[in-house]
Amino acid sequence: MMTVTDAAKAHLAQALETTQEEEGAACFRLVKSDDDRLAMVLGEQLNEDTVVEHDGKAVLAMDGELAPVVEGRTLDVEENPEGEAVLTLK
């Protein structure tokens, strides 16, 4: 399973709160893009998803097929040179 730091969970929750007001999405989804890269999109949580919660609310969901791809990796937040928070997957 992928590790999601508390800082990343809080960042996702804050971004989702802002986004929900505009688009009504339930959570972020980690998906594999057409070029086999990982991407985060807005979407709905599905029954078979692995779900990451923050304060009891789903902030990130992913299909079980992604488990081997993200196994042992960590989703965290780092600050870029402009001082903005950026999610990183290491």
Report the distance separating Cα 66 and Cα 70, nearest Å: 6
- How far is the CA of 81 from the CAs of 12, 15, 44, 47, 89, in angstroms? 20, 20, 33, 39, 18
CA-based Rg of the chain, rounded to a whole angstrom? Answer: 13
Q: What is the bridge-based pairing of β-strands 85-89 and 74-79?
A: antiparallel
Question: In order of start, what are the domains of the chain with their CATH numbers?
Answer: 3-89 (2.60.300.12)
Q: Contact at 8 Å (CB) between 30 and 70?
A: yes
Q: Using 50, 70 and 90 to split pLDDT, how confident is the model at 19? A: confident
pTM of the predicted model over 0.75: yes
Say what the pLDDT of residue 83 is.
74
pLDDT at 18: 79
Q: What is the pLDDT of residue 4?
A: 92
- Residue 76 forms beta bridges with which residues? 88
Q: Please tell me the predicted confidence (pLDDT) of residue 20.
A: 64
Q: Averaged over 2-31, what is the pLDDT?
A: 83
Q: What confidence tens digit (pLDDT) does each residue in 30-49 have? A: 998 888 888 888 888 888 88
